[in-house]
Amino acid sequence: MTIDTSHNAQTSSNELETRATFKSFGESTKQDWDNIMVQLQVTQSRVADHIIEQLEYLRHDFGGFPVNRLEHCLQTATLAQRDGRDDEYVLCALIHDIGDNLSPYNHASVAAAILYPVVSPANHWLVEHHGIFQGYYFWQHIGLDKDARDKFRDNQYFDYTAEFCAKYDQVAFDADYKSEPLEHFEPLIRQFFAPRERDGELIN
């Protein structure tokens, strides 16, 4: 698979943008930042495309599993959707392993960071901690404590996250399951990551 990152259309539209001339933030002006903040929304308008592209990178990556990493994501989301979960939950199910090929040992945090601005605290916590909760099903095979999740027993989202792994994540490795294709979930991705009013929202 070859993913085109040239973004010709975006590049040509960017040629019309006003660019600041400062060499350091310290010498930047309010006018510079008025222009930059407009461009930030342009960047946000491309996030959905970038998420879809990043999911595509997982299509040919099996990592030794019975299904490729994209199929695992699609299967997790399809199981959740067919079980009647709402759109936000399905989005989290779809994206929860998007960081597998960016930070294999910390992939849950990658997905959680991407989802943080658009999902509830419960769903953010679920995604951020799903890795250690998944461990309940296999960590005994790799020399780790399968009950490591127990340190979160008193957390209000413990059962919620355990349920996600039990019903959708740890079972989504079935090569015979007929998942929805990525195209099926694209409207959901575009809906949640579309630009919106962000007055007063921190940029960090």
Q: Which is nearer to Fe ion, 71 or 169 (CB)?
A: 169
* CB of 193 vs Fe ion, minimal distance in Å: 20
Which among 159, 169, 187 is positioned nearest to 100, based on CA atoms?
169
Question: What number of other Cβ atoms are within 10 A of residue 5's Cβ?
Answer: 7
Estimate to the nearest angstrom the gap between the alpha carbon of 15 and the chain centroid: 30
The residues near 195 (Cβ < 8 Å, ≥ 6 apart) are 41, 44, 45
Q: Which is nearer to Fe ion, 47 or 76 (CB)?
A: 76
* CB of 128 vs Fe ion, minimal distance in Å: 11
Q: Which is nearer to Fe ion, 71 or 97 (CB)?
A: 97
Please report, as ranges, the residues that interact with Fe ion according to CB under 5 A. Answer: 97, 169
What is the C-alpha separation between 164 and 178, in angstroms, rounded? 19
Q: What does the angle CA 181 – CA 48 – CA 7 come to, to the nearest 5 degrees?
A: 105
Q: Which is nearer to Fe ion, 47 or 110 (CB)?
A: 110
* CB of 39 vs Fe ion, minimal distance in Å: 33
* CB of 169 vs Fe ion, minimal distance in Å: 4
